[in-house]
């Protein structure tokens, strides 16, 4: 009977531990879901074409905004992230860039850019700045 009383006494401790573990698991799932739909940080690309070097910088924020700088700056663009597929839209909600995000989220490659009818800008890679 001594073991039964010990087990009964520790029952409350086991319940507390189980609740803490459950909350931790739910938090990890929630964070993973949040992260899968948001991107933050600055990604850059420097390209040379016909002797002209251009640098493009994309600054992503958690509020689904992206600031693009490449000679001029656009601040009203937004982005959508579905898995590793990235879409950047202008203020008129038109897709201006599609890209594939790397699994480690440290880079992405352009799949298409609006106005690039010859596909010259396809597969340009942007890398995250630390």
pLDDT in tens, 1-52: 566 666 666 777 777 777 788 777 776 665 555 555 568 789 998 877 778 8
pLDDT in tens, 38-66: 687 899 988 777 788 888 898 988 778 88
- Structure token pair of residue 69: 């700088």
Q: Phi and psi for 19 in degrees, rounded to 5?
A: -65, -40
pLDDT in tens, 74-121: 878 888 888 889 998 988 888 888 999 898 889 989 888 877 666 667
pLDDT in tens, 109-120: 988 887 766 666
Predicted pLDDT of residue 19: 77
Residue appearing with tokens 């074409």: 49
Note whether 107 and 91 are within 8 A (CB): no
Rounded CA gap, 93 and 80, in Å? 11
* CATH code for the part of the protein at 39-128: 2.40.128.370
Name the residue ranges covered by the structural domains of the chain.
Answer: 1-36, 39-128
Predicted pLDDT of residue 100: 93
Rounded CA gap, 87 and 94, in Å? 10
Of 71 and 102, the structure prediction assigns the larger pLDDT to 102
DSSP string, 76-129: EEEEEEETTEEEEE-TTS-EEEEEEE-TTSSEEEEEEETT-TT-TTTT-EEEE-
Q: pTM here?
A: 0.64
Predicted pLDDT of residue 74: 81
């Amino acid at each position: 009977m001594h073991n039964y009383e010990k087990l009964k006494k520790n029952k409350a401790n086991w319940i507390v531990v189980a609740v803490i573990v459950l909350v931790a698991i739910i938090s990890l799932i929630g964070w993973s879901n949040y992260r899968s739909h948001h991107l933050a940080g600055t990604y850059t690309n420097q390209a040379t074409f016909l002797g002209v070097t251009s640098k493009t910088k994309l600054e992503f924020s958690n509020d689904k905004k992206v600031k693009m700088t490449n000679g001029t700056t656009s601040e009203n663009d937004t982005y959508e992230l579905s898995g590793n597929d990235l879409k950047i839209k202008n203020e008129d909600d038109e897709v201006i860039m599609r890209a594939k995000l790397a699994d480690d989220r440290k880079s992405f490659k352009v799949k298409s850019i609006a106005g690039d009818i010859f596909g010259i800008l396809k597969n340009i890679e942007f890398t995250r700045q630390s």
